Amino acid sequence: MVTYEFNRESRLLTPGQFQTVFSKPLRFGSNHITVLITPNPEKTNRLGLAIAKKRVKLAVQRNRIKRQIRESFRLNQHNLPGIDMVIMVKSGTDKLDNQEIRRQLEKIWRKIIQRHK
């Protein structure tokens, strides 16, 4: 059965978990979003967000971007292979509307799924 939940087990929580992704990642990206992934030994998907204040100045915009990323991940996690991922954004992402952020994430999810088939 497919679950569409985003719970504590679906997140990267500790600095060590983030460090394993940053050490030897595969990179996927678009104009404004970069996704770093590594295989997860437990075959579950986990998401980490690294939205820098340097890239997106206003907290309101950072939180909006995080909500869009989490929701997209929640709806697509059952299609992805067992991976840990960290999502980072580039400057100018705060200028995009929600629909464009979701569109870019959908493209990245398709690339990841194609690469791991």
C-alpha to C-alpha distance for 5 and 11, rounded to whole angstroms:
11
pLDDT of residue 104: 96
How confident is the prediction along the chain (117 residues), in pLDDT tens digits per residue?
677 888 899 999 999 999 999 999 999 999 999 999 999 988 889 999 999 999 999 999 999 999 999 999 999 999 999 999 999 999 999 999 999 999 999 999 999 999 986
C-alpha to C-alpha distance for 3 and 50, rounded to whole angstroms:
25
> What CATH architecture is 8-115?
2-Layer Sandwich (3.30)
Instruction: Retrieve residue 28's tokens.
Output: 């996927």
Question: For 101, which DSSP code?
Answer: H
pLDDT of residue 5: 85
Which one, of 7, 12, 83, lies nearest residue 41 by Cα?
Answer: 83
**In the chain, where are the structural domains located?**
8-115
